[in-house]
């Protein structure tokens, strides 16, 4: 492992209060894309939310059957580089307004204060992650650094089309000095 903490998965499923389903779905859909509040969390690789009201069961041999649930549920999944309690605390503190807007529409949400009740709510609604697929085992910072180095290499490759081999070597050494 290259990072300071291995990637940790989390899945939290919370029942949505009756009458709040549409507003919650709109709030969750509004989080997609650039500017998501989850970008403010330093250890988050991935975070996704969806409101569900039915589940599909079946296999390739048996036709898929849809089963309606008794209500709607908010499913939150995330992958991050920290212990679960640290991640939940970062949610509570750094995403304060968004957290209240989202989970405030769910049954039993105690609010962000006291922090003990907030953490208990997430632990109570956490389900085990039995299978996961990680593309890499690195911290968010390491991934962002690698993406930046890749960008710099692409820029140099484009700019080097008219350079002599000596100019290219000089420019490469200037941009990527040895540690």
Cα 146 from Cα 69, distance rounded (Å): 43
Q: Are 18 and 96 in contact (CB under 8 A)?
A: no
Cα 31 from Cα 88, distance rounded (Å): 18
54 plus 102 within the same structural domain? yes
Domain with residue 52: its CATH number is 3.30.70.100
Give the count of domains, the chain.
2
- The pTM (predicted TM-score) of the whole model is 0.71
89 plus 156 within the same structural domain? no
Q: Answer yes or no: is 135 within a domain.
A: no
Q: Answer yes or no: is 3 within a domain.
A: no
pLDDT in tens, the chain (179 residues): 344 557 888 999 999 999 998 899 888 888 776 677 888 887 888 888 988 875 555 555 555 655 555 778 899 999 888 899 999 999 999 998 889 999 999 999 999 988 999 999 999 999 998 877 666 677 777 777 888 888 888 888 888 888 898 888 888 888 888 87
123 plus 147 within the same structural domain? no
Q: Which domain holds residue 116?
A: 8-127
Helix then strand then coil, in percent of the chain rounded to 5, is 45, 25, 35
């Amino acid at each position: 492992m290259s990072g300071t903490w291995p990637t940790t998965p989390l899945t939290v499923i919370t029942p949505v209060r009756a009458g709040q389903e549409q507003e919650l779905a709109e709030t969750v859909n509004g989080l997609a894309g650039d500017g998501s509040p989850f970008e403010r969390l330093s250890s988050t690789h991935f975070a996704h939310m969806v409101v569900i009201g039915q589940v599909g069961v079946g296999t390739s041999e048996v036709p898929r059957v849809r089963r309606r649930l008794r209500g709607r549920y908010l499913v939150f999944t995330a992958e991050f580089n920290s212990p679960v309690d640290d991640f939940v605390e970062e949610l509570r503190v750094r995403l304060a307004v968004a957290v209240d807007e989202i989970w405030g529409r769910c049954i039993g949400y105690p609010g962000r204060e006291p922090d003990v009740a907030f953490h208990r709510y997430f632990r109570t609604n956490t389900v085990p992650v039995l299978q996961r697929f990680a593309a890499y085992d690195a911290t968010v910072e390491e991934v962002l650094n690698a993406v930046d180095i890749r960008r710099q290499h692409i820029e140099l490759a484009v700019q080097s089309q008219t350079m002599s081999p000596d100019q290219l070597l000089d420019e490469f050494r200037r941009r990527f000095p040895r540690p």
